[in-house]
Amino acid sequence: EEDILSRLPLRGKKVLITAGPTYEAIDPVRFIGNHSSGKMGFEIAQAASNLGAEVTLITGPTQQSVVSAFVNVVYVTSAEEMYQEVHKCFNTTDIAILSAAVADYRPKTVSSNKIKKHDATLTIELEKTKDILKSLGAIKSKQVLVGFALETDNEIENAKKKLISKNLDIIVLNSLQDKGAGFGVSTNKVTFILSSGEIIVGELKSKSQVAEDIMDLVLKQLNA
């Protein structure tokens, strides 16, 4: 009996995960989006569920499907919707892992009619979306807060800055420079930076293995 419990170390814990891209409407038929497949977040949801956690997965539009019946999936489209849903759960959550590729900008106004092609050029004014992760860092109490960073240059330095400015416990740095890492593929090469300053450089691994590594680190943080 004790053995079963030790294999489910997150039993009774609530885990909040964001995944996928967000779509920001331009008009009724068009949007601004990105290439995020959502795979990483769905793998994290599975890994957390395998450890016995009660998982809420808040996801933008993806082709992924959830395997575990113990994952509560909330489907959203825009950054604003994701922000609202995340804040509905955060107070009661123990662990939040934000892997979504949230749009940084959205059209300042959404045209209610389909935009017609008139001129040779078209300018769409964009405004910043809310930084969901940063907003959680500002209000967190006991929660373990994990973010991601996608960088192409000064990777470690930039990721460290994000860890500090967003008040995170762990940041997972994604390298786009390596073949086989990042968007659309099932492997990932990541570096973990902890709030203690410790840096753990990972190998090229499957996204499900990376998800298990993330949960291992979260467990250590939770028990620290």
> Does the annotation flag 166 for ligand binding?
yes
Cα 85 from Cα 44, distance rounded (Å) = 18
**How many CB atoms sit inside 10 A of residue 91's CB?**
9
CA distances from 200 to 15, 137, 156, 194 (A): 23, 22, 11, 8
Q: Give yes or no: 34 in active site.
A: yes
Cα 45 from Cα 43, distance rounded (Å) = 5
**How many CB atoms sit inside 10 A of residue 77's CB?**
17
Residue 16 near ligand CTP by CB under 6 A: no
The minimum distance between CB 209 and ligand CTP, in angstroms, equals 19
Q: Which residue intervals of 13-154 are DSSP H helices?
A: 39-50, 79-89, 132-139
The minimum distance between CB 143 and ligand CTP, in angstroms, equals 14
132 to 161, contacts with ligand CTP by CB under 6 A? 132-133, 147-150
* Binding-residue pattern over the window 173 to 192 for ligand CTP, x denoting contact by CB under 6 A: --------------------
Whichever of 62 and 72 has its CB closer to Ca ion, that residue is 62
217 binds, among ligand CTP, Ca ion, none (CB under 5 to 8 A by kind): none
**What is the size of the binding site for ligand CTP (CB under 6 A)?**
16
Find out whether 132 and 138 touch, Cβ atoms under 8 Å.
Answer: no
Measured from each CB, the residue nearest to Ca ion is 104
Contacts of 102 (CB under 8 A, 6+ apart): 18, 21, 22, 60, 79, 82, 129, 131, 132
Residue 81 near Ca ion by CB under 5 A: no
The minimum distance between CB 25 and ligand CTP, in angstroms, equals 16
Find out whether 32 and 106 touch, Cβ atoms under 8 Å.
Answer: yes
| List 80, 104, 131, 151, residue binding Ca ion (CB under 5 A) | 104
75 to 114, contacts with ligand CTP by CB under 6 A? 79, 98, 100, 102, 104
Nearest in space to 74 (alpha carbons), one of 96, 58, 63, 55: 58
> Does the annotation flag 140 for ligand binding?
no
The minimum distance between CB 200 and ligand CTP, in angstroms, equals 17
Active site residues: 34
Binding site members for CTP: 104, 114, 148, 162, 166
